[in-house]
A and B are shown apart, each in its own frame.
Chain A
Amino acid sequence: MKVSLFVTCLIDIFQTDVGMDTLELLEKLGCEVDFPEKQTCCGQPAYNSGYVDKAKESMKHMITVFEHSDYVVTPSGSCGTMFREYPHVFKGDPVWEPRAKKLAEKTYELTQFIVDVLGVEDVGAKMNGIATYHTSCHMTRLLGVKEAPMKLLSNVEGLEMKPLAHNYNCCGFGGTFSVKMGEISEQMVDEKVQSAEDCGAEILIGADCGCLMNIGGRIDRKGKPIKVMHIASVLNSR
């Protein structure tokens, strides 16, 4: 199966290992993966701040970049959601709405792609440790991907999963919210870190680099003994 990797700008610049893990994992699962090098960002930072016209420029670019892909797979629930929202953003635009729709229809978040498209629930990963999973908001509520990551994680050999209290509450990232409303964001992320600590996890796993940068950055600052990992890295562990 031919897959185009949409790696996201955060992973391209800051979390390159997550990108490599995604690439390797997809290849292990038999996919032929390409990385369209002209890709940039999905436009969400501008879109969510109200700069829709400016966001549209990046969106048009991304639509063009992935025009010839069969499947677009991304290790981010939130950026995947943004692609799926494109037809809504370009609604009524005779040129861009149909093109946006094509992209939206072939875009999948990584775990969603593995479970729903490839039909795989056990990727053969092994990793020892006690972990908990942070359900990111856009991935669960807007993209509707709830079960796939849990199914995949439950089949990782050696991994013990603990439930995270108040897992439905946002971690306080929210893109520019984290800096615009820093004081509120701090309270939200502190509650999330506390819940992770309380459940006894050594590792907090997530499927969105934004949330993980927020939670992980706070964990580091507070010097808590919890490791933060992207689900792609967990699933690529052997």
Chain B
Amino acid sequence: MAMKIGEKPFKERVTDGIGDVFMRGAVSSAQGRFRSGRLNAAEELGNWEEWRKLGEEIRTHTIENLDYYLDLMSENVSKRGGYVFFAETAEEANEYITNVVKKKNGKKVVKSKSMVTEEINMNEALENAGCEVIESDLGEWILQVDDHDPPSHIVTPALHKNKEQIRDVFRDKLGYDKTEKPEELALFAREKLREEFLQADIGITGCNFAIAESGTISLVTNEGNARMVTTIPKTQITVMGMERIVPTWEDMEVLVSLLTRAAVGQKLTSYITALTGPKQEGEIDGPEEFHLVIVDNGRSKILGTAFQSILHCIRCAACINVCPVYRHVGGHSYGSIYPGPVGAVLTPLLGGYDEYKELPYASTLCAACTEACPVKIPLHEHLLRHRQEIVEKEGKAPVFENLSMKAFSLGTASPSMYNIGSKLAPKALGAFTKDDKISAGPGPLKNWTEIRDFPAPKKDRFRDLYKKRKKERGE
């Protein structure tokens, strides 16, 4: 799976999403839980706004000095005997990873959750090289078992499935014969995955935060699977987007505090796994060989642009969990493994406007995302910026819209033009008006009146009434 999911055009994906009653039920109830969880956790912590500011400062400083911290990270990993590879593209990353696996004669890879490996389509590359790849995050594993159903959320990838659907997947694909009780489903998954862990020769992880000062990678999970992935296989490969870095442990603590609360309303996840290079002399666990693959894949092109702060994202999904558009269309509608507001900003930057130019418009600019973001990324402003780029730099706006905006500018920048236009409106729309309402409007009003009535323009505008009133009063 690469960043792009599905082949259908945006409108069809949206129609599919809106028609998926199970998914919408699951999403709206999850949004309710995540929202109240986040607000309660923030209140309990206290001074949430101060924490957010601190988070923003850390991310801003880190991304502004990304070259320095990547260098420091790389140096410290090497010092401990790990290997570091900078991959400019998805292909370069996959080639390196495949080569490591081949060299080790790896037959089975276990993975913990990682969005960047989805983005670069790593699983497929490894499978093509004859290696079996097993996802060990429960949500990711369910999707993998279900014939590689794409993730619809960056933290809870199988959010679009309810427990009955998961039971059916297990039954149809793996012969599961118990009920849809979450405990029974989880126990079944645990038993199956345990076998895989014990057989795997290579462990591949993502990375929540790479701590530059010590060359440590850290992973935030609730299932403990990352701990298994980093201790059982002899060789470990960690794949990280180049922005997933923090300067110090102290910074990491701040960001983890924000991440777990913003993501799922937890003070801390059940496991925070930290790993500093391969097993050292005298240590009893950890991989014998450690590779860190740092992926660019379009990120460095965002540096230095007005979109730079999207690289501050810590992948908590708080913006997705409050988005009223995501609520109704679900993650697959975005056509990218990165859905919701962060996806609508990031996906067109990584994948281009040709493929993803609708995404910045799939928002009412309600700013719920900006308000929820724990590191204060102005997400709705980035969506606006995209629209501006599409219109002004790319010249990709629809012709009709372009014309109406020209008319708008003409009619609002000059009071006399506005005067003529607004005065003509009741006459122009007279034929469509009944009982002060328009139920089937022409031109751009057509889309509006397909589902709503539109008020008829008044014969006397406010300005006319104001003038009359003034006259009557002898003013």
Contacts and interface: CB of A to CB of B under 8 A. Distances in A.
A183 interface: yes
A13 B412 CA distance: 13
A226 interface: no
Interface string B376-397: 0000000010111111100001
Contacts of A159: none
A22 to B, nearest CB: 9
A221 B440 CA distance: 11
Contacts of A178: 447-448
Interface of B is mostly: helix
A58 interface: yes
Interface in A180-196: 180-189, 191
B367 interface: yes
A198 to B, nearest CB: 14
Contacts, number: 194
Contacts of A138: 366-367
B415 A61 contact: yes
A181 B460 CA distance: 32
Interface residues of B, number: 63
Interface of A: 7, 9, 11-16, 19-20, 23, 35, 37-41, 43, 45-55, 57-58, 60-61, 65, 137-138, 141-142, 168-170, 172-189, 191, 213-214, 216-218, 220-221
The 9 closest A-B pairs by CB, nearest first: A174-B364, A50-B387, A217-B452, A57-B413, A170-B366, A137-B366, A19-B462, A54-B409, A58-B412
B303 interface: no
Given A15-B455, A23-B466, A217-B453, A141 B366 contact: yes
B444 interface: yes
A9 B386 CA distance: 26
A60 B460 CA distance: 27
Contacts of B408: 41, 45-46, 51, 54, 58
Contacts of B467: 37
A102 to B, nearest CB: 19
Contacts of A9: 412, 418, 422
B409 A58 contact: yes
Contacts of B171: none
Interface stretch (B142-150, B212-220, B325-333): B325-333
A12 B422 contact: yes
Given A23-B466, A186-B451, A40 B411 contact: yes
A48 B150 CA distance: 32
Contacts of B14: 181, 183-184
Contact of B405 (A23, A49, A142, A173): A49
Interface in B276-303: none
Interface in B409-466: 409, 411-415, 418, 422, 425, 437, 439, 444, 447-448, 450-458, 460-463, 465-466
